[in-house]
Chains A and B, each alone.
Chain A
Amino acid sequence: MTPEHNEIVDEVIDDVIALESLENQEISHEITLHAEPVTAIGNFPVTNALITAWATVVIIIVFVAILRTRLKEIPRGIQNFFEYIIDGALSLSDQVTNDRSVSEKAFPLVFSIFLFILINNWLGILPFGGFGVIHQESGVSSFIPFLRSGTADINTTLALAILSVIAANVFGILSVGIWKAFNKYINLQTFVHAAKNIRKDPTVLVVAPVSFFVGVLEIISEFAKVASLSFRLFGNVFAGEVLLLAMAAIFTYILPVPFIFLEIFVGLIQAFIFSILVLVYFTIAAQDHDEHEEEERHSKVSPHHNDRGVVIN
């Protein structure tokens, strides 16, 4: 026997011993707050949430490829359904933005977010949770499922939230201009306005610092948006997974079924909420605050008259 053969034999013996010890050990299956790494590529951890996200991307690509090959002038089947969804979603967006052009510009991102979150949420509910790897760490074996809702990992929701808030701000800059967008956060315009109007209206001395502080609050609110978006989605989906696991632990059969339906609904609702909030951020970013203030000032200076000439305040 060569040394190489000896090494192989040793490895086989180690594996057999490991298997025997596994059979004797109890494998824990606990849901963790973070996504579990299934494997690693170099020092990059491939978590089960990431695998779900990849599966989501593949599903979306396949769906889009099928749709693309079946595009016809007279819609049928999947195209008909997709057109119906797009039409309905655009109408819904119009109700939020009150402006078709804003809806159309924000729609690709908002709709993609909706699809990505929805499929991620639903993939986590699928009963593939039984498939996974057994991970041994310090003598304790734990089961790591291959699939976990992508959105049940804070990294995913954080990525989506950061992207959404940055995209909304970029959209705001493109819509109202860089100077106005900048003044929304660091309000230098209010000091310029104060310097011009200090003789006419000395109250600007009080208003200007307040306006500047409001700008600072706006910066904080942008971070709050990221936190609220990411933690809301993560919290809801993760809670759903915990709930399903808890129900399955109480009684494996039948009992989790109503909760699975509940989670399907929650997955849809959460995707919808996230998308609508992003759309709202886009709408707010596209609004020119100066114009609003001017309108309000104008309405205060010149009260409206009705057709009989009566002043309406």
Chain B
Amino acid sequence: MESLISTFHIDWKIIIAQLINFGVVILVVYVFALKPLKKLMSERSSKIARGIHDAEANAEILKATTTEYDKALREARAKALIIFNEGKKEAEEKRNELLSQTATEVEEMIASGKKALETEKEKMLLDAKKEVASLVIQATQKILETEDTSNIEEKVAGVIKTI
């Protein structure tokens, strides 16, 4: 042991000095480099992790929103189709109703028109008859005024033509 110490000049004072040197190194490296750097790195990592988590959450929300949007859109389309079909059906019914109503009204109008025409015709006939009667009476009166009753019918007719 003695020879080892003397050969290599092992000196406890230098060993302690080197221990102090290394102590300073480890202190400086740990306190001023590794510790703050580790803190910074872990903060950054947590930020990145949080960012990724948020992005994933946002993606999930976006996916859910898209699904919801698609679902709502599908439902709205289905509803719109139902409403459209209902409307179409209602409109068809209304149209048919209006058409039938119009047809009925037209028929009624035609009927009433016919009736009015019939009445008018009857009235005209009646008037004509009255006219004819009065003409006959007038003609008869005129013939009778001439007191010649022969060929009375021809005379009446001739009188009526002159009137």
Q: A83-B41, A108-B26, A112-B26 given as contacts; is B33 within 8 A of A155 (CB)?
A: no
B residues within 8 A CB of A112? Answer: 22, 25-26, 29-30
A residues within 8 A CB of B26? Answer: 108-109, 112
B residues within 8 A CB of A50? Answer: 14, 17-18, 21
Q: Could you give, for residues 39-63 of chain A, a 1 whenever the CB lies within 8 Å of some chain B CB and a 0 otherwise?
A: 0000011010110011011001100
Q: Are B8 and A83 in contact (CB under 8 A)?
A: no
B13: Cβ under 8 A from any A Cβ: yes
**B contact patch SS:** helix
B15: Cβ under 8 A from any A Cβ: yes
Alpha-carbon distance between A263 and B10 when the two chains are bound, in angstroms: 25
A149: Cβ under 8 A from any B Cβ: no
Across the interface, B33 reaches (CB within 8 A) one of A56, A82, A109, A116, namely A82
Alpha-carbon distance between A112 and B26 when the two chains are bound, in angstroms: 5
**A contact patch SS:** helix
Across the interface, A33 reaches (CB within 8 A) one of B8, B28, B40, namely B8
Alpha-carbon distance between A61 and B21 when the two chains are bound, in angstroms: 11
B residues within 8 A CB of A73? Answer: 40, 43-44
A67: Cβ under 8 A from any B Cβ: yes
Number of chain A residues whose Cβ lies closer than 8 Å to a Cβ of chain B? 43
A residues within 8 A CB of B19? Answer: 159, 162-163
Q: A44-B13, A154-B8 given as contacts; is B32 within 8 A of A64 (CB)?
A: yes
Q: Are A150 and B28 in contact (CB under 8 A)?
A: no
Alpha-carbon distance between A81 and B148 when the two chains are bound, in angstroms: 155
Q: A60-B28, A108-B26, A112-B26 given as contacts; is B34 within 8 A of A53 (CB)?
A: no
11 pairs, CB–CB < 8 Å, chain A vs chain B: A50-B21, A56-B21, A71-B37, A82-B37, A83-B41, A86-B38, A107-B34, A108-B29, A112-B25, A156-B18, A162-B19
